[in-house]
């Protein structure tokens, strides 16, 4: 991935997580109490591409 492509992907991820802000805020007490992210939130993050791996220099 080029630096430019990486920057675009980073921008996309930032915008995506910002859109989840209200959801994350509404789950704050549950996250704190359970000490883990709720499965539904993890699934949303996965769908948005937050758990993909990429190799640098590839």
Domain ranges of the chain: 3-47
Return the pLDDT at 57. 55
- Cβ neighbours of residue 17 under 8 Å, at least 6 residues apart? 45, 48, 50
Averaged pLDDT score across all residues of the chain? 86
**What's the rounded mean pLDDT across residues 27-54?**
92
**What's the rounded mean pLDDT across residues 3-18?**
83
pLDDT over 90 at 54, yes or no:
no
d(CA 52, CA 54): 7
Question: Cβ(50)–Cβ(17) under 8 Å?
Answer: yes
Is the pTM higher than 0.75? The answer reads: no
């Amino acid at each position: 991935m080029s630096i430019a492509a990486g920057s675009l992907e980073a921008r996309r991820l930032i915008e995506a997580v910002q859109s989840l802000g209200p959801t994350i805020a509404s789950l704050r007490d549950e996250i704190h109490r359970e000490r883990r992210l709720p499965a539904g939130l993890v699934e949303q993050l996965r769908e948005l591409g937050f758990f993909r791996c990429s190799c640098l220099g590839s």
